[in-house]
Amino acid sequence: MLDQSPLVFVGGLLLTYAALAILVAVVFKSRSVPLTRRRPDEAAVHTSNLTKLTDQAVHSLNQGLRSRGSGLLNREKLDSAGLKKQPGDYLLIAGAFTFVAVVLGFLLGGILFAVLMLLLAPVGLLLLLNVLVARRRKKFDEQVPDSLQMLAGGLRAGHSLLRSVDAAAEENEAPMKEELNRVVNETRIGRDLGESLAEVARRTDNEDFASITRAIEIHREVGGDLAQVLDNVGETIRDRNQLRGQVKALSAEGRMSAVVLMALPIVMFFGLTLFNPLYSKVFLTTFPGFLMIVAAVVLLAVGGFWLSRLIKPKF
């Protein structure tokens, strides 16, 4: 770091600040209705050049992502994570974050560390998105039994199916509230209720909600007491949740072992670096050291995937 030219250091800082400015402009961009839509008779709102540049970049990215179709970052993936902006917004945020990571890596460890950060930053952001998706789906799974009970109670009170769904949405919290409100809104503009419910089950990857959707579709075809059918489905769901809890308790030791095995090399590396920086100098300043870090990351990823399959039984 001391051998780097001062001009390189200053240039890196300026580029980092520029990336952070773009990041802040995208994240904190106003979510309210534009003034031109609320007050058409008033003059056009004056925006800064940075805002115009950011909006143009986001618009171009969204058009490119729509033309390419599905991919690692699409509207469906963001909906599953509960994120409200367009894919172009998050792609621009990811680019700015990656750029900052690369510049910091170059200033701290040279060109090899910058290349390593260039590879790890997008992977880390993708893993973060998957974590958000998994967290939202887990919370949705926990809300399904209570929502089903509310839905059956609304039907017994004499409400229609759509009104019962609307009432269940009002009594719930996110993400169930968001999903049911979306179903209600789509149905009101002409989409079939069964299709909207099936889309929720597919987006949340919830087998219990898919069973509810199938029960509603069968009832709409053959008739009968839908409240009683939903009660029977609710009993089945509660039994499955009880079995799922037992499996989770039995596999807790395996999950803890997986966490310890994954965290031990990382903790040991930082611990040795903290007590004696010479241990990490070989890894951060030489080409063989970078190759060993990459190999360690790959092996940890493969081992983590293998352990996740072992502690995630199917039933």
Q: List pLDDT tens digits, range 67-76.
A: 554 556 677 7
Stretches where the chain sits below pLDDT 50 are 1-4, 30-45, 69
CATH of the domain at 220: 1.20.81.30
Q: Residue 224: what pLDDT?
A: 77
> Which residue, among 256, 258, 251, has the nearest Cα to 303 in the 3D structure?
258
The dihedral sign for the CA sequence 115, 120, 122, 125: negative
Name the residue range of residue 224's domain.
139-245
Q: Residue 15: what pLDDT?
A: 67
User: What Rg do the C-alpha atoms of the chain give, in angstroms?
Assistant: 26
Cα distance from N-terminal residue to C-terminal residue, the chain: 54
Residue 92 placed within a domain: yes
Q: Are residues 147 and 104 in the same domain?
A: no
Residue 101 placed within a domain: yes
Q: Are residues 169 and 215 in the same domain?
A: yes
pTM of the model: 0.64
Residue 193 placed within a domain: yes
Last residue of a domain, one of 221, 245, 269: 245
Enclosing H/E stretch for 143: helix 111-156
Report the C-alpha gap between 216 and 56 in whole angstroms: 45
CB atoms near residue 67 (< 10 Å): 7
Residue 262 placed within a domain: yes
Residue 200 placed within a domain: yes
Number of domains in the chain: 3
Q: Residue 290: what pLDDT?
A: 80
Q: Are residues 82 and 145 in the same domain?
A: no
Q: Are residues 264 and 226 in the same domain?
A: no
189 DSSP 8-state letter: T
Quick check: 108 and 117 in contact, CB under 8 A? no
Residue 114 placed within a domain: no
Residue 134 placed within a domain: no
* Amino acid, res. 243: L
Q: Is the peptide bond before 175 cis (omega within 30 degrees of 0)?
A: yes
